[in-house]
Each structure stands twice: as structure tokens, then as C-alpha cells.
């Protein structure tokens, strides 16, 4: 059994809190990796012998980012829609149908190439776990193939057949909901771990969302939800009621939404890349954190509302624009994402966890927000294997 020691770590973020520090920071530390898993964490001076050694040179080491919300299976380009928004047009979600048209017309090879390109782009930037949704196919065959392709790149695949009602069902949304709950779910479920619905005015109302999510649960899928993105609504409370792992966006919240989240195991996943790219007000992270809600950060990487794969960028936005502390933002982008995916094998560096980590070109985690836009991630290990 070959072993690898990552040694001379100036600041190690473990997210394994024995003390009051949620980041579980250790100084002058080392991590021993065996069989792709963390085998030992401790002071450098007590580090066991290993077959190979990586010298971190006193830099900071963190768990890999866990990006729990991304829409990577798509074709086409909506840069002009972004430019129009920057010139004053509002974001309505209407462009989703543009991407649906392009995605349906794309070959499997073209879709696979896009997912692969974005997954590699994210990995280089420290993202070792990435959820991937369908939702731009919206036919039985196109949702199934989207998830089949997504599953080649992630264990956390999400069926989002209820993204919007496609044009051909515009005047009979009930029929589309029946399609999603019936043949589409049957074709999608073998390739999916999760089910998601865009619960929003102009997409799916609470009754439709409840019906679809209940069918997904009956088929063995876990629940997550796009909720309260464009305006106030019932999505967050519906998610909590159904025991969703995560409700995502949470931009427009009533007190009752915050109270419901605070008393639940549902994570609030915030996606500040979407507010950045749609020039919208950011969610109130402080209100959620102060109420005791578990918060995750994710990219929402998609061609419309947030075309970034950079967790560091989202983390910097969360600190600068949403008043999260750098430590809260780092936790939310790693351990928080793991909670949002109900994973206990990622998001922390403790014995038994996957050896997913990044070595920074910086002495501490603070630099991720302090030096926005700078490529600070020197090396990424995924399952203990050094990446590109
Ligand atoms: O999470 N809100 C719904 N879905 C995506 C946007 C998709 C798009 O505009 O293509 C989101 O922001
Ligand atoms: Fe999304």
C-alpha cells in the first residue's frame, strides 16, 4: 500500500472541530494519505514515514471545495443576454428556454465535452466534489441523456426536469408535471441521486413542486430545491417540510422561512455568483447565520445566471458583499457543501475522509477572499492523487 505525506503545512484547515474553532485549524501540520483517504493528521514533527512526500513549504492547505449546485449539461452561449443585463435588462429566467433549444440540438459528444471542460476548470480551481444537474433537456430522452453524461463526472447528479415548463407544454403545465412524475422520472432516476424543482413564479408553484418532489422521494431520490431566488415564495418552507437536504438561492426570505430553516436539518445554499451576474441584491447571509441556519456556498455554474466555476470567487463575494467572515465562507464552501449533499466523506480532513485537498500559494485561508481573482491554488489532490 503506497502512502503520501503532505508535509510542512503552515496552516491546515481540517473542518474537524475538537475546539471552538469551526475550521479546526492546525499549525505546522502534516497529512498522511493511504489508498486515497486521509490516514493521519498531526504535527509535522510527529509525521510518520511515507513512500512519497509533498512539501507544502509552510503554505495553507484546505479541504477541496464542495460545489453543491451546478448546471453543467448544456449547449449554446448566452453572453449577449449577460451584456443586455449589464445594460439594464432584468433577469427573468426566460433564457432557460434558449439553452433548452441548444441542448436538445447538441450531440452527446458535444454535451460530454462541455461537462468535461467545466469539471476540469473547476478541479483546477480546487473543486474536488461537484454536483451536476440536468434541466436543459426537458424531454424524457434529453433529461435521461443529460443525467447519463453527468454521472460520468459526478456521484451527485440531480434530476431537474422541473426547471421550467418547456414551450410545447406552455398551455398545459399539468400535463408536463405528469410527464416529469411519470416517464421522465422513470428514465432519469437510475442516473440520479437527487431531485430538484425550480419553485418560483413563472416556473413551478408549490403544489406542482410538492407533487414532483414527492414522486422523486418515492423513487428513492433525495430532495433539493431552487427556492426564493427571484422573489418571496413558498419554496423554502416546502423544502423544510419535505426534509430537503438543501434549499438553494434563499435570496428573498420572510422571517417564517428563516425560522423554519433554523429548526431543521435543511441547509441554506447561497449562490452569490447569480446575484453578481444578474445584478440583484445578495441574500442576507448574516441573518441566516445569526439564526443558527447551516449555510453552504456554491457556484450555480450555468450559462445564464452565473457562468462561473470559481468557488474562490463566490467565497470572496460572500465575504465582501454578504458580510460572512472569511472563516464562515471557507467552512460554507467546503464542509457546508458537504452537508448540503449529505456527504460525510468530503469537506473535512480527518482520518477516513477522502484525501481531497488544495495547497494554496498563500499562508492562510484568509487570502482566498483577501486576494480575489488571483490564482492562489497551487496544487489540488483528489482522492490522494495530484491533479493537473
Ligand atoms: O439556478 N434558477 C433557475 N436556474 C438557474 C438559472 C438557469 C439559467 O438562467 O439558465 C439558476 O440560477
Ligand atoms: Fe441553479
Angle at CA of residue 158, ends 188 and 234, nearest 5°:
110
CA–CA separation, 346 and 359 (whole Å): 16
What pLDDT, on a 0 to 100 scale, did the predictor assign at position 388? 66
- Could you say which ligand is closest to the alpha carbon of residue 98? 1
CATH code of the domain in which 210 resides: 3.20.20.140
Residues 117 and 40 placed together within one structural domain of the fold: no
What domain range includes position 217?
A: 65-340
Ligand 1 pocket test, pick from 96, 135, 199, 271 with the greatest ligand atom count within 8 Å of Cβ, gives 96
Neighbours of 292 (CB within 10 A): 10
Residues 59 and 32 placed together within one structural domain of the fold: yes
161 with 143: CB under 8 angstroms? yes
Ligand 1 pocket test, pick from 79, 93, 161, 307 with the greatest ligand atom count within 8 Å of Cβ, gives 93
Predicted confidence pLDDT, tens digits, the chain (388 residues): 799 999 999 999 999 977 678 999 999 999 999 999 999 999 999 999 999 999 999 999 999 999 999 999 999 999 999 999 999 999 988 899 999 999 999 999 999 999 999 999 999 999 999 999 999 999 999 999 999 999 999 999 999 999 999 999 999 999 999 999 999 999 999 999 999 999 999 999 999 999 999 999 999 999 999 999 999 999 999 999 999 999 999 999 999 999 999 989 999 999 999 999 999 999 999 999 999 999 999 999 999 999 999 999 999 999 999 999 999 999 999 999 999 999 999 999 999 999 999 999 999 999 999 999 999 999 999 999 999 6
Residues 41 and 75 placed together within one structural domain of the fold: no
Cα distances (Å, whole numbers) of residue 94 to 191, 200, 243? 27, 12, 29
* Ligand 1 in reach of 305 Cβ (< 6 A): yes
The annotation status of 69 as a binding-site residue, yes or no, is: yes
Q: Return the HEC string of 180-217.
A: HHHHHHHHHHHHCCEEEEEECCCCECHHHHHHHHHHHH
CA–CA separation, 250 and 84 (whole Å): 25
Does the predicted TM-score (pTM) go above 0.95?
yes
CATH code of the domain in which 26 resides: 2.30.40.10
Total domains in the fold of the chain:
2
The annotation status of 91 as a binding-site residue, yes or no, is: no
Residues 238 and 364 placed together within one structural domain of the fold: no
Model confidence pLDDT, tens digit, residues 289-310? 999 999 999 999 999 999 999 9
Cα distances (Å, whole numbers) of residue 251 to 221, 231, 269, 368? 25, 8, 10, 24
Amino acid at each position: 500500500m503506497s502512502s503520501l505525506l503532505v508535509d510542512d503545512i503552515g496552516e491546515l484547515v481540517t473542518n474537524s472541530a475538537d475546539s471552538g474553532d469551526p475550521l479546526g485549524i492546525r499549525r505546522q501540520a502534516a497529512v498522511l494519505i493511504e489508498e486515497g483517504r486521509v490516514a493521519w493528521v498531526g504535527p509535522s514533527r510527529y509525521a510518520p514515514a511515507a513512500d512519497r512526500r509533498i512539501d507544502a513549504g509552510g503554505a495553507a492547505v484546505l479541504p477541496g471545495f464542495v460545489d453543491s449546485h451546478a448546471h453543467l449539461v448544456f449547449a449554446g452561449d448566452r453572453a449577449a443576454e449577460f451584456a443586455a443585463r449589464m445594460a439594464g435588462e432584468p433577469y427573468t429566467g426566460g433564457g432557460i428556454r434558449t439553452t433548452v433549444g441548444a441542448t436538445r440540438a447538441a450531440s452527446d459528444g458535444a454535451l460530454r465535452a462541455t461537462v468535461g471542460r467545466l469539471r476540469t476548470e473547476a478541479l483546477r480551481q480546487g473543486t474536488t466534489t461537484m454536483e451536476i444537474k440536468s434541466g436543459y433537456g426537458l424531454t424524457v430522452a434529453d433529461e435521461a441523456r443529460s443525467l447519463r453524461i453527468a454521472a460520468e463526472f459526478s456521484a451527485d447528479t440531480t434530476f431537474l426536469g422541473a426547471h421550467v415548463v418547456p414551450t410545447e407544454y406552455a398551455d398545459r403545465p399539468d400535463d408536463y408535471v405528469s410527464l416529469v412524475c411519470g416517464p421522465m422520472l422513470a428514465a432519469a432516476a437510475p442516473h440520479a441521486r437527487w431531485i430538484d424543482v425550480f419553485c418560483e413564479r413563472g416556473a413551478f408553484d408549490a403544489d406542482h413542486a410538492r407533487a414532483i418532489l414527492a414522486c422523486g422521494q418515492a423513487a428513492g431520490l433525495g430532495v433539493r430545491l431552487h427556492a426564493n431566488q427571484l422573489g418571496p415564495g413558498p419554496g423554502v418552507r416546502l423544502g423544510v417540510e419535505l426534509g430537503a437536504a438543501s434549499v438553494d438561492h434563499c435570496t428573498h426570505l420572510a422571517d417564517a422561512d428563516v425560522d423554519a430553516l433554523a429548526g431543521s436539518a435543511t441547509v441554506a445554499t447561497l449562490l452569490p455568483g447569480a446575484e453578481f451576474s444578474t445584478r440583484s441584491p445578495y441574500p442576507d447571509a448574516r441573518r441566516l447565520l445569526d439564526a443558527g441556519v447551516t449555510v453552504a456556498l456554491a457556484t450555480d455554474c450555468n450559462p445564464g445566471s452565473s457562468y462561473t466555476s470559481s468557488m474562490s470567487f463566490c467565497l470572496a463575494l460572500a465575504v465582501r458583499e454578504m458580510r460572512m467572515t472569511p472563516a464562515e465562507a471557507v467552512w460554507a464552501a467546503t464542509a457546508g457543501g458537504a452537508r448540503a449533499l449529505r456527504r460525510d466523506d468530503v469537506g473535512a480532513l480527518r482520518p477516513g475522509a477522502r484525501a481531497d485537498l488544495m495547497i494554496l500559494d498563500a499562508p492562510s485561508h484568509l487570502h482566498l477572499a483577501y486576494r480575489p481573482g488571483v490564482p492562489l491554488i497551487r496544487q489540488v489532490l483528489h482522492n490522494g492523487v495530484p491533479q493537473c
